[in-house]
Amino acid sequence: MEGIELDCIMVHVLEAGLTFLEANNPKNRPSVKGFNIINGQLADSSDGATFESRNPALLNDVLGAFPLSTKVDVDAALDAAHAAFPAWSATPAPTRGQIIGNMGRLLMEHKDDLVRLQAREIGKTLKECGGEIQEAIDTCLFFQSEGRRLYGQTVNSELPDKELFTYRRPLGVCGIINACNFPSAVPFWKMIPAIMCGNTCVWKSPQDSPLLSFALARIMHQAGLPDGVINLVHGKGSGAGQHLINAVDEGRVNKISFTGSTAVGKMIGEVCGRNLVSCSLELGGKNPLVIMPSANLENAVEGAYWAGFGTAGQRCTSLGNLIIHKDIYDEFVAKLMDKVRSTLIGDSLEHEGVLYGSMLSEKYAKDFLEVIQMCEQDGATKLFGEGRITSDNKPSGFVGTAEDGVFMWPHVYAGVTEDMRCFHEEMFGPAITLVKADDFEHGLHLANASPYGLSSAIYTNDRLEAYRFKTGIKAGMTGINNSTTGAEAHLPFGGVKGSGNGTRESGIWVIEAYSYWHAVNDELSGKLQLAQMDVDEIEMVEAEVRWDELV
């Protein structure tokens, strides 16, 4: 390893048995051979097939080669999870919490390396990656204490000499599938409460962030997690991911937690529904942000700008429809466009101060270029944006060599109405659509008019408008004088309508998704007592009241 820069690969990951591959990587960055982790052991795919992980901000930077997992590999991971379940579910909850706390402390210890690794693997900015790793830390520290608060209840019986209790019980083996736009926070949102409740997991990593997933799984095991409690398999959604979903039909999976597209989520919901298996579906969004005349326009511009273009618009909570009251439309758009035109874009590992980096991968770039075509086909007016950035086609704020990675212009489309496809469809990239509202009622109507219901926001200093918006919006989350993005580890996260099936990530509410209530009826009387039938009836006694004496 002499002469190799190790800033993006943690020492304890190397100690796991990874080997370096021969690669002419730029910046002298290492490229490794990665593995699945099944029952605590490193494993290749059963047929030896692999795929590469590439840095989307520097395409000739190969992070490594990883197993293209088969059904045999997924089955082996499920076998390990089932074998580990009895002992893990019997482990006292405070002990499970202590292991989760250890994970949080290890994340803190290795935070800087994890941040650089994540930025390298998916092209997000260092600042955003830092916030995301911190959210994984916060999740661990929050659920460490929940190990001492995994409460049941005592319930008074209607019969004498009888006690009633409720307990939380784990579901069993959970299949975990998350997208690559939040490759550290979201799997921790899912797996930490899952194992806190006593479940075991098979985690199918995102295809575009396998090395980060491997590093996170190693941290979990280093924290003291027993073998088989969390098993990691790499591969494609259509391969390993589909095999994990198919295992629901085989009766081998007791829970699926999925973050991704609405179309795939509906398919997973159908499979789980026909098997009466619990599923948590966190899906897409076309998130509205309403700007009213009473708003602080400078603050509103900042919020809309960040919501639309942070993470290159690749958040499920990114701004979709920017709904602006007609009385301030021109002034607001002028202020917003000043910021859009000056957007700093580039690889944050090389350039400081960029708002956003590359697309997550070539595939996400291709999909984005296809979907923005609908805006002009619908008749929307393009105010800014010219597709993919190249050396001959770049905004003034781009820094670096465009052809090194997959970078996009920020896009703004005006004149959008609710009869257009682009009003309703998620674009998942740096693009926003501008919609004009006649008044508050029209703005609220427009905010509710898309098929999604994940995040929403309003900028107003009229408290009645704020109240009417938060009570009238059909969404899982609402920001008041804040952007559509931003989640905290102790607040429920999730959507309604096309954005999810009503389950929630994060906070104490997520425990409902990974446990079931077990009611226990403890008869102490030594005889059969029948509820509702053996209960003594209470006779009412009529009392004569002399109303005239009370006056």
Q: Which residues belong to the active site?
A: 316
Pairwise CA distance, residues 497 & 451, whole Å: 6
Distance CA 495, CA 53 (A): 31
Please give the C-alpha separations between residue 151 and each of 94, 425, 489, 491, 512, in angstroms, as whole numbers.
12, 42, 20, 19, 12
Residues 6+ apart with CB under 8 A from 189: 139, 493, 505, 506, 510
Neighbours of 289 (CB within 10 A): 26
Strand order in the sheet with 230-233: 41-43, 36-38, 230-233, 200-204, 173-177, 255-259, 278-282
Name the amino acid, one letter, at 375.
C
Read off φ and ψ for residue 235, nearest 5 degrees: 140, -170
Note whether 454 and 473 are within 8 A (CB): no
Write the burial class of residue 219 (CB in 10 Å: 0-12 exposed, 13-18 middle, 19+ buried): buried
Q: What backbone torsions phi and psi does residue 440 show, to the nearest 5 degrees? A: -60, -45
Which residues on neighbouring strands pair with residue 413, listed in sequence order?
A: 382, 433
State the pairing for strand pair 431-437/477-480: unpaired
- The arrangement of strands across the sheet holding 162-170 comes to 153-156, 162-170, 515-523
User: What is residue 53's three-state secondary structure?
Assistant: strand
Q: What are phi and psi of 531, to 5 degrees?
A: -60, 145
Rounded CA separation 418/420 (Å)? 5
**Do the Cβ atoms of 361 and 350 come closer than 8 Å?**
no
Distance from C-alpha of 378 to C-alpha of 512, rounded to nearest angstrom: 43
Q: Cα separation of 325 and 182, whole Å?
A: 33
Pick the closest to residue 455 from 325, 323, 293, 315 (CA basis).
315
